Structure 1
Amino acid sequence: MTKIVHVAVGVIKQEDKFFLTKRLAASHQGGKWEFPGGKVEENETVHQALHRELKEEVAIETLTCTSLMQISHDYGDKKVLLDVFVVDNFTGEAKALEGQQSGWFTLAEFSGLNFPAANQAIIDQLQKNYQ
C-alpha cells in the first residue's frame, strides 16, 4: 500500500497577492510552483506543523489562520493529504529559505504558472473566494 504523506499547506495572502515557492528541480513535482508548507510529523498537530514549516521555509510567524479545505490526491507514485489554510495574519517578511525561487502573485498571474495537480482545487477555491 502506498503511504499517504500528510501535508500542512499555507496560502499566504497579503492584500491581493499570494506567496508561492517553486519546488527544487530534484524534488517530487520539481520545478512547479506551490503554496508553502510541509509534512506533519508524528506527535504534531496540523496547526503545529503549519506554524513550524512556514517559519522554517519562509521565515514568517503565523499568528492566525483559517481552514480553507482538505485535499486527497494520488500522483500515482505518491499519495498526499493536504490540509490547507489561509494565512493572512503573520509577522515577518515572507522569503524562501531553502534555495528555491519565490514571489508574490495575483490570482490572475496563476494561469501562467505550472502547479502540481493537487493545487488546482486550491486555486479554484481561491478564485471563488477572492475574485
Structure 2
Amino acid sequence: MNAATAQAVAASAAEAPPIHVVAAALIDADGRVLLAQRPEGKHLAGYWEFPGGKVEPGETPLQALQREVQEEIGVRIGPAEPLIRIPWRYASKSILLDVYRVAAFDGQPHSCEGQALKWVPATALDAAEMPPADHAVIHALALPPLYLITPEPDADETAFLARLDAALERGVRLVQLRAKRCDDTTLRRLASACLARVRTAGGQLLINARWDLVEELDLDGVHLTAAQLAELTERPLAARRWVAASCHDVRELALAQALGADFAVLGPVAATASHAGHAPLGWDAFAALCAAATLPVYALGGMRPDDLATAQEAGAQGIAGISGLG
C-alpha cells in the first residue's frame, strides 16, 4: 500500500461510523480470564483478545454478546455487568468496544471456530500480546469501584491512620495518599505506615504527585496533578506501577491518554468544598466525557457510596473521594 492509498484508507476510517463490537471478560472461580487468539488472515492476527464480536443490525449489545459467546466458545452466559466502553481508532477502521464482566456461565468453553483459547489470571494479563483497544480493559479488570483519597494529614498521625484502618475495614482497596504539606521525613514515614496497612488489607497505595518516591518506598503508583499532566512529556513510571491523573475537562483527559496514564479521576461532578474553583460538571457532561475516553475514569466531587451505581451507569469505573469514602 503506497502512502496516498494509506492516507485515503485512514481518512475513510475516520469518516465512517465506528463498528460496534462487544466482548466478554469471562472470569472463572479461580479469578482467571478467558482469552481467544485471533486467527490468521484477520486484523491483528495472533493477538489474544476477549471473546466477542460485532453487534448485528437489530441487536442490543447484550443480545450480541450472548450470541457471539455461544457461537465462538459454546457457552451460555449468565448476568453480564458493563465493565468499560472504549472508542478506538485503528489505521483502517474505528470501533466502539463494549466490554462486560461475566462471572457465571453454563457449559465448558471450547473452540467453535478453530481459534486457540487459554485461561489467564486477571493479574497476569499481558498488554503486549493483546490489541491496543484491550489495554484499558486490563486496567478496568484490576481496578476496584472505590478510590479513597486521604484528607491532608495533621499533627495527629495516630488518628489519621485510624481513619485509614476504618476505610480499609469497610472494603476500600485503592488509596491515594495526598499529603501536600508534609515535609519529606514525615511523608516517608507516613507513606510507609499507610503502605503496611493497605498491603495487609490486600489493597494498593498511590501517592499524590511524588513519583520520585514510588520506587524508593515500593508504592503501587503515583497520582498526577492536572498541573503535572500539562508539563510531562512522557510517562514517569514503568508499566508495572499505576499512573493516575486528575482531570477536569476534555483537554486534560486527552493529555492523560496521550501520556499513557492507566486511569483518570474526573470532576467535580457535584459541587464540593475541595474543588471550590471548578464549576460542577453534572452527570450528563461527565457521561459524555467518559464516552469519549480510552481509559477507566472515576467520578470525583461530592461522591458518596450511594452514588456508585449512578456513576457506573454514566460509564465510570467507580467513585473517588475524600470525606464521602473515608
C-alpha offsets along residues 73-114 of structure 1, whole Å, 9 cap, x if unaligned? Answer: 001211110111011111001112111110111124322750
Contact 1:95–1:102 (CA<8 Å) still a contact in 2? yes
Helix, strand or coil for the counterpart of 2:68?
A: helix
Helix, strand or coil for the counterpart of 2:125?
A: helix
Is 1:9 matched up with 2:8?
A: no
2:111 is aligned to 96
- Which residue of the other structure, out of 41, 46, 70, is the alignment partner of 1:55? 70
Q: TM-score when scaled to structure 2?
A: 0.39
Separation in 1 of the partners of 2:46 and 2:143? 26
Helix, strand or coil for the counterpart of 1:73?
A: strand
C-alpha offsets along residues 16-55 of structure 1, whole Å, 9 cap, x if unaligned? Answer: 1000000002101110000000100001110100000000
Contact 1:33–1:113 (CA<8 Å) still a contact in 2? no
- List structure 1 runs of 4+ shifted beyond 2 angstroms: none
Q: TM-score when scaled to structure 1?
A: 0.93
Q: Mark the CA change 1:79 to 1:18 in structure 2 (over 3 Å): closer, same or farther.
A: same
Q: Which has the higher helix share?
A: 2
Separation in 2 of the partners of 1:101 and 1:33? 9
Alignment RMSD, CA only?
1.7
Unaligned runs of at least 5 residues, structure 2: 1-14, 145-172, 174-202, 204-326
Contact 2:127–2:138 (CA<8 Å) still a contact in 1? no
Helix, strand or coil for the counterpart of 2:27?
A: strand
Q: Mark the CA change 1:60 to 1:115 in structure 2 (over 3 Å): closer, same or farther.
A: same
1:73 counterpart letter in structure 2: W
- Which residue of the other structure, out of 29, 50, 54, is the alignment partner of 2:44? 29
Unaligned runs of at least 5 residues, structure 1: none
Cα deviation for residue 3 of structure 1 reads 3.7
